[in-house]
Amino acid sequence: MAEGGEAERANPTISALFEEHRVFPPPPEFTVRANVRDRLLYENAERDLEGFWAEAAEGIDWFRKWDRVLEWSPPFAKWFVGGQLNAAFNCLDRHVRTWRRNKAAIIWEGEPGEQRVLTYGDLHREVSKFANVLKHLGVKNGDRVALYMPMIPELVVALLACARLGAPHTVVFGGFSPESLRGRINDAQAKVVITADGGFRRGSIVPLKQNVDEALAGCPSVENVILVRRIGEAVHMHFHEGRDHWYHRLMDEAPLQCPAEPMDAEDPLYILHTSGTTAKPKGVVHTTGGYMVGVSATHRWVFDIKDEDIFWCTADIGWVTGHSYVVYGPLANGATVFMYEGSPDWPDKSRWWEIIEKYRISILYTAPTAIRSFMGWGEQHVRKHDLSSLRLLGTVGEPINPEAWMWYQEHIGGGRCPIVDTWWQTETGMIMVSPLPGVTTTKPGSATFPLPGVRAEVVDEYGNPVPSGSGGYLVLTRPWPAMLRTIYGDPERYVSVYFSRFGPKVYFTGDGAKRDEDLYLWLLGRVDDVMNVSGHRISTIEVESALVDHKDVAEAAVIGRSHAVKGQAVAAFVTLKAGVPLSRDKADDLKTHVIEKIGALARPEEIFFTAELPKTRSGKIMRRLLRDIAEGRALGDTTTLADPTVIARLRTQYEENAES
Ligand code: PRX
């Protein structure tokens, strides 16, 4: 594994951020009305961590109050021990007893342009009925349910119905291949799969049901498939009698009442897979009590949510951002969530701005990669629309470069909206490092400070804090309520990945960071074998395994190369088996193979064929040198190479190839 300086080498654009000196104090007119106006939360958390989180937990409805706030036997934490609650109850039942019954919970727009509004009352009814549907199919407390769906309201209904019964859901992003879907379903041993006949993406149809059929050829745990009709006649699919059921048919017959199951605070709420440093994705397990406290509190503090806001988090629910800030955080807070099915450039590049104007969106939360795309497309698409409803902007998923930050602030935020650059991970469940918009003076490109109750440090390879200005590893040194509890079915991996490098009390994030002289945190990107492509985590090893699975490939090394829009792009160095001729379409053939194995998001942007790969004497491929080559930098330390001539030859070939 690389040392802190490695992250700077890996991402020179990001380390240039450190030269950024512009500051943006919170606008006074924002602070006056903000949910958090002063530093009291920080002080309270410093004084009494457990008392602080206990107070945050008052924002959640409990069927039974907890006995102890925290049981910490490193690296295992239990929060709100003895407490009982239900996540769906917190997102629905407690609101329908108030004036919010008729408040919009979800405002949805489909890619073809349809609109739907579900009030809290509507959502409560749909979720209760669908929970009865699941029950009728034999789903009970503790059973796993897999979801592979487009961004439609039924996805939220399905999620909350699982939560209502205490059946952990495992959502698989609709862009994953049948093989990836199969791996995740089998890892979770899901009993039911919920999907749709298809989804819309840039005017074409994603054949979700067909993918499910392919996946299920190897998923013995699955007994039933529930199908939402999203596309209808236009999609061709097989209906497996006995196994497949139409959502609308089942809903027609479902009873209306379904009480929310009281769950223990530590009962799992969901499993969500994320890429690690091996070929097998990790099933991150989140539990009920701490997670609900963490996401609802951070959603209130960071997004300053008010009843009159229209909150738009653009993430797909297939990712953790969607779980925490499309569904659980905002709905627990009784907010109005806007949800959009499609992509930002369909039917044209002003779709998002049209949406913001039409629905008077007030808070927009998106990824730097999207902002960089918009910058590239030009301001003319933005200028046509009235964005005066916006009052707060957020980013997540990858470091944001100061130019993109400034563009976002000026062209989208009209110079008046604070920006919250939020750092967190699938594993953290909730935002960990971020400005508080009414309190924190921001610097473009810095995620600023750990939130109240969170302690982050930048340390060297021995775990000692580094002086400000030096790079190191970002670690979290106190447990937090929404933290992952384990890796599903693999508790040892939980310990070895997160809590062994610096001992059992220190969570290793896998990210490099720096602190400046004012203690602002600057994230420098991953320091492990994980890439961040358009804000999505992809494992280099996973892509390598997909490549070597191809019949013609002998060996492959994959790296994330800096990319102006995507942050990083997948680049692969491939050695073909002896005797395989290098034909023109070989690269395309291999790219298609990766798409089939993992999904389009892992498609290599570039494939470079080489006779040899640079290795250490013990046979490990030195990816860091490949990154140096792909990014045209001077080579780092080459002393551990078994044969230094390999890298010299590779560099010459690569450069010749780039010129031709
Ligand atoms: O490298 C960090 C980057 O995204 C990783 C987590 O990815 P994932 O689990 O998919 O969750 C993404 C959304 C929460 C981190 O290890 N990352 C996330 N947010 C930021 C970031 N890097 C820099 N700045 C951020 N604001």
Residues 54-110 pLDDT 10s: 999 999 999 999 999 999 999 999 999 999 999 999 999 999 999 999 999 999 999
Calculate the alpha carbon distances from 245 to 53, 150, 170, 199, 302 in Å.
Answer: 43, 17, 19, 18, 41
Measured by CA distance, the residue closest to atom 14 of ligand 1 is: 425
| Ligand 1 atom at shortest distance from the alpha carbon of 426 | 9
Q: 279: pLDDT confidence band, cut at 50, 70 and 90? A: confident
Q: Which of 511, 536, 540, 568 to mutate to test the pocket of ligand 1 (most atoms within 8 A of CB)?
A: 511
Residue 584: predicted pLDDT? 81
Q: What is the rounded average pLDDT of the residues 19-23?
A: 84
- To which residue do tokens 């779980």 refer? 323
The predicted model scores a pTM of 0.95
Measured by CA distance, the residue closest to atom 7 of ligand 1 is: 425
What are the helix (H) ranges across 413-570? 491-498, 540-548
Q: 10: pLDDT confidence band, cut at 50, 70 and 90? A: very low
Residue 16: predicted pLDDT? 55
Q: What is the rounded average pLDDT of the residues 370-384?
A: 96
Q: What is the rounded average pLDDT of the residues 595-610?
A: 96
Which range has the worst mean pLDDT, 43-57, 243-257, 359-373, 632-646? 632-646
- The alpha carbon of 535 and the centre of ligand 1 are apart by a number of angstroms equal to 7
Calculate the alpha carbon distances from 7 to 282, 290, 471, 568 in Å.
Answer: 23, 32, 8, 13
Q: What is the rounded average pLDDT of the residues 119-138?
A: 98
Q: What is the rounded average pLDDT of the residues 401-426?
A: 97
**b/e string for 459-476 if b means 16 or more Cβ within 10 A?**
bbeebeebeeeebbbbbb
Instruction: Compute the distance between CA of residue 582 and CA of residue 579 in angstroms, rounded to an integer.
Output: 9
List, for residues 310-348, the tens digit of each pLDDT value: 999 999 999 999 999 999 999 999 999 999 999 999 999
Q: What is the rounded average pLDDT of the residues 39-50?
A: 98
Measured by CA distance, the residue closest to atom 18 of ligand 1 is: 397
The one-letter code for the residue type at 28 is P
| Ligand 1 atom at shortest distance from the alpha carbon of 536 | 10
Residue 6: predicted pLDDT? 52
Q: What is the rounded average pLDDT of the residues 618-643?
A: 90
Residue 660 has pLDDT above 70, yes or no: no
Higher per-residue confidence, 427 vs 633:
427
Among 611, 613, 617, residue whose Cα is nearest residue 625: 613
Residue 314: predicted pLDDT? 98
Assign 3-class secondary structure to 636-657: CCCCCECCHHHHHHHHHHHHHH
Measured by CA distance, the residue closest to atom 12 of ligand 1 is: 397
- The alpha carbon of 499 and the centre of ligand 1 are apart by a number of angstroms equal to 19
Measured by CA distance, the residue closest to atom 15 of ligand 1 is: 425
Q: Which residues line ligand 1 (CB under 6 A)?
A: 274, 320-321, 396-399, 421-426, 447, 509-511, 523, 526, 532, 537
Residue 230: predicted pLDDT? 97
- The alpha carbon of 536 and the centre of ligand 1 are apart by a number of angstroms equal to 8
Residue 9 has pLDDT above 70, yes or no: no
- The alpha carbon of 398 and the centre of ligand 1 are apart by a number of angstroms equal to 5
- The alpha carbon of 120 and the centre of ligand 1 are apart by a number of angstroms equal to 31
Residue 659 has pLDDT above 80, yes or no: no
| Ligand 1 atom at shortest distance from the alpha carbon of 315 | 13
* All residues at 6 or more sequence positions from 138 whose CB lies less than 8 Å from its CB, including other chains: 191, 223, 224
List, for residues 472-494, the tens digit of each pLDDT value: 999 999 999 999 999 999 999 99
CA geometry: angle at 437 spanning 431 and 439, to 5°?
110
List, for residues 138-149, the tens digit of each pLDDT value: 999 999 999 999
Residue 126 has pLDDT above 60, yes or no: yes
Among 657, 620, 614, 600, residue whose Cα is nearest residue 178: 600
| Ligand 1 atom at shortest distance from the alpha carbon of 400 | 24
Average pLDDT, the chain: 95
Q: What is the rounded average pLDDT of the residues 449-476?
A: 96
- The alpha carbon of 432 and the centre of ligand 1 are apart by a number of angstroms equal to 10
Q: Which of 321, 474, 537 to mutate to test the pocket of ligand 1 (most atoms within 8 A of CB)?
A: 537
- The alpha carbon of 289 and the centre of ligand 1 are apart by a number of angstroms equal to 23
| Ligand 1 atom at shortest distance from the alpha carbon of 510 | 16
Instruction: Compute the distance between CA of residue 78 and CA of residue 65 in angstroms, rounded to an integer.
Output: 15
Measured by CA distance, the residue closest to atom 11 of ligand 1 is: 425
Question: What contacts 24+ positions apart, CB below 8 Å, involve 12-16?
Answer: 12/562, 12/631, 12/633, 13/401, 13/562, 14/399, 14/401, 14/522, 14/523, 14/524, 14/525, 15/471, 15/514, 15/524
- The alpha carbon of 425 and the centre of ligand 1 are apart by a number of angstroms equal to 5
Residue 583: predicted pLDDT? 85
- The alpha carbon of 628 and the centre of ligand 1 are apart by a number of angstroms equal to 23
Q: 1: pLDDT confidence band, cut at 50, 70 and 90? A: very low
Q: 2: pLDDT confidence band, cut at 50, 70 and 90? A: very low
Residue 14 has pLDDT above 70, yes or no: no
Neighbours of 226 (CB within 10 A): 24
Q: What is the rounded average pLDDT of the residues 231-255?
A: 95
Q: Which of 425, 433, 484 to mutate to test the pocket of ligand 1 (most atoms within 8 A of CB)?
A: 425
Residue 560 has pLDDT above 60, yes or no: yes
Residue 12: predicted pLDDT? 44
Q: 17: pLDDT confidence band, cut at 50, 70 and 90? A: low
Residue 20: predicted pLDDT? 77
Residue 3: predicted pLDDT? 38
